[in-house]
Homo-oligomer: A and B are copies of this chain.
Amino acid sequence: MNKHIYAADISGFEKQYRTNLINGLGGIKSAILVGTQGKNGENNLAIFSQIVHIGANPALMGIIHRPVSVEKHTYENIVSNEYFTLNHIPVEKYKEAHQSSARYERNQSEFAECGFEPEFTAQVKAPYVKDSMLKIGLKLVEIIPIKSNDTVLIIGSVEEIIIAEEILEEAGYIDLSKVKTSLVHGLETYYQAEKIGRLPYAKPINK
């Protein structure tokens, strides 16, 4: 049996119920640790799931970010420092990654607090997560305000990819099934993924 829920029901729900329900509508997504650096060199880490592919050429990715939220340091750091990293999370580390969503102070680094080791390269002025099997270093291109509710879409250009050789296939495909990555649904339920198949480019079938 299906339940129908309408806009008026949603606005009438108790806050926590509404948060749980609406955050779950978009489904399951890779959980990503976003690494940034503050003005005084503090290394910040925060977990995000609203990461989007924007384009392949030029290579661009985006993050949906709420300006007033637990991840405020991330936003401020990207604005001031212009670099950020995206780090896929091995399944063994999903609890540590979730812990990065706690409200730490500016002078506390989530790397040390949650048990991750930072890693740096010459190209990107932001910390990577050493243990991640797929890391992307981005440079800020555009911050787009979303008028409807004051969230922002942060767009960055891909400056560097650090990828475990075992998951990079010949044709450029990334096989995330070889090293289990963490997925998240809503703000708190974690999943792992099992590959079911790769399909060819679809063409209309003449019936």
Contact = CB atoms under 8 A, between A and B. Distances in A.
A78 interface: no
Interface in A43-70: 50-62, 64, 66
B28 A176 contact: yes
Nearest to A91: B196
Nearest to A153: B153
B163 A22 contact: no
Contact of A26 (B1, B52, B64, B203): B52
Given A11-B57, A29-B27, A204-B113, A183 B172 contact: no
A173 B192 contact: no
A157 interface: yes
Nearest to A133: B2
Interface of A: 1-7, 10-11, 13, 15-30, 32, 50-62, 64, 66, 86, 88, 91, 94-95, 98-104, 108, 113, 121, 123, 134, 136, 141-142, 144, 146-149, 151, 153, 155, 157-165, 168, 171-177, 181-183, 185-205, 207
Nearest 3 CB-CB pairings of A with B: A27-B30, A20-B172, A24-B174
